[in-house]
């Protein structure tokens, strides 16, 4: 049993114009059954749709459990994450965005029990489902079978990204280097998991505990696919500037996959100069590493030509 007066877990809830969803998110956290104390730290990024009125009602009703960080200006997703993480007092931090929700009332208890029994874990994750704005199920249990196990930095840095709404992380690893660089990236989920994976193993709890909601008005959902790839590439570049050189070889593998997809998309867009620049980058990588990334990019382009409806991500 944990000491009753110590906060073992902080649940970070990030919100921005989540009026239609925030109640479901908060209720899913408040339903948690634990034998330890936890707090809910809500970081609202200057919502303008009435989200704050709902949050204020919850904060008043659960004043001993909920703390709210408000903003006078829109900070952006990752700067908002950064300041909300900083405000947490728990040994562990669980993450939930305001348009997602949890579906197991013992999620926190089970994941923190897992972390407590494995000192070598820097974070852990679970399976999840995906729904649309109307709760219509899109996909169940999105974690592939081969990834439902304890992972190391080699898997995470090469492109495996545990679902953000399922994460529980060990807060002692969130140092100045983490806080200095998180606000610079667009893909907070990639950065957080990648950074933490270099501090310890990544545990997996074989349970579906959360739901990711595809929100058409979400910051990420509104971006086209090419822009998303560009943002990811920038995130990996910042990770290379953040992490030690021994990790760069794995980050480069993730970058190559992104460049190969951009190689195809730029040609389809008719951007010959951009297509050529990507080809040069892939060729340079191949010369340095004896890889065949450019050849694989041409193969992807050929497959796209054979089947125009085939997704470039396949």
Residue range 38-84, pLDDT digits in tens: 999 999 999 999 999 999 999 999 999 999 999 999 999 999 999 99
* Residue 58: CATH number of its domain: 3.90.550.10
Question: 266: part of which helix (H) or strand (E)?
Answer: helix 248-269
- Residue 113 pLDDT greater than 60, yes or no: yes
- Residues 137 and 284 reside in one and the same domain: no
What residue numbers bound the domain in which 283 lies? 244-306
- Residues 94 and 21 reside in one and the same domain: yes
- Residue 178 pLDDT greater than 60, yes or no: yes
DSSP string, 16-34: SS-TTTHHHHHHHHHT---
Looking at residue 210, its pLDDT comes to 98
Give the mean pLDDT of 254-283.
95
Residue 208 lies in a domain: yes
Report the domain count for the chain: 2
- Residues 134 and 254 reside in one and the same domain: no
- Residues 12 and 87 reside in one and the same domain: yes
Tens of pLDDT, residue by residue over 234-252, are 999 999 999 999 999 999 9
- Residues 263 and 116 reside in one and the same domain: no
- Residues 257 and 187 reside in one and the same domain: no
Residue 199 lies in a domain: yes
- Residues 150 and 192 reside in one and the same domain: yes
Count of alpha carbons within 13 angstroms of residue 276, beta-carbon side = 4
Question: Of the residues 195, 213, 231, which one is the last residue of a structural domain?
Answer: 213
Looking at residue 312, its pLDDT comes to 59
Residue 75 lies in a domain: yes
Looking at residue 215, its pLDDT comes to 76
Least confident among 8-17, 267-276, 298-307: 298-307
Residue 182 lies in a domain: yes
What is the Rg, in whole angstroms, of the alpha carbon atoms belonging to the chain? 20
Cα 66 to the center of its chain, rounded Å: 23
Residue 218 lies in a domain: no
- Residues 173 and 285 reside in one and the same domain: no
Between the CA of residue 12 and those of 43, 83, 277, what are the distances in Å? 7, 10, 40
Residue 221 lies in a domain: no
- Residues 262 and 122 reside in one and the same domain: no
Give the mean pLDDT of 108-129.
98
Neighbours of 135 (CB within 10 A): 10
Residue 235 lies in a domain: no
- Residues 126 and 261 reside in one and the same domain: no
Looking at residue 4, its pLDDT comes to 43
- Residue 313 pLDDT greater than 60, yes or no: no
Tens of pLDDT, residue by residue over 3-21, are 445 899 999 999 999 999 9
- Residues 40 and 97 reside in one and the same domain: yes
- Residues 190 and 279 reside in one and the same domain: no
Both structure tokens of 122:
């820097």
d(CA 143, CA 150): 13
Give the mean pLDDT of 287-299.
93
Residue 239 lies in a domain: no
DSSP reduced 3-state for 149? coil
């Amino acid at each position: 049993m944990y000491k009753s007066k110590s906060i073992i877990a902080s649940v970070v809830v990030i919100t921005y114009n989540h009026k239609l969803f925030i109640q479901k998110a908060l209720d899913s956290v408040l339903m948690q059954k634990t034998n330890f104390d936890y707090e809910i730290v809500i970081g609202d990024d200057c919502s303008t749709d009435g989200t704050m009125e709902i949050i204020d009602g919850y904060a008043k009703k659960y004043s001993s459990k909920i703390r709210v960080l408000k903003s006078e200006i829109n900070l952006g997703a990752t700067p908002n994450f950064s300041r909300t993480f900083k405000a947490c007092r728990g040994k562990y931090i669980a993450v939930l965005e305001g348009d997602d929700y949890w579906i197991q009332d013992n999620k926190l208890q089970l994941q923190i029990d897992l972390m407590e029994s494995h000192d070598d874990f820097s974070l852990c994750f679970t399976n999840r489902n995906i729904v649309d704005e109307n709760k219509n199920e899109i996909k169940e249990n999105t974690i592939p079978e081969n990834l439902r196990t304890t992972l190391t930095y080699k898997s995470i840095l090469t492109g495996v990204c545990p679902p953000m709404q399922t994460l529980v992380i060990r807060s002692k690893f969130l140092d100045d280097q983490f806080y200095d660089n998180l606000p610079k990236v667009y893909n907070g989920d990639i950065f957080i998991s990648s950074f933490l994976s270099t501090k310890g193993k990544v545990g997996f709890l074989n349970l579906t505990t959360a739901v990711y909601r595809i929100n058409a008005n979400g910051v990420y959902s509104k971006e086209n696919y090419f822009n998303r790839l560009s943002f990811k590439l920038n995130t990996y570049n910042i990770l290379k500037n953040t992490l030690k050189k021994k990790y760069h070889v794995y980050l480069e593998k993730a970058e190559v996959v992104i460049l190969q997809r951009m190689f195809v998309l730029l040609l389809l867009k008719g951007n010959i100069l951009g297509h050529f620049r990507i080809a040069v980058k892939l060729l340079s990588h191949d010369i340095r590493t004896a890889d065949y990334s450019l050849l694989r990019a041409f193969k992807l382009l050929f497959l796209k030509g054979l089947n125009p409806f085939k997704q470039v991500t396949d």
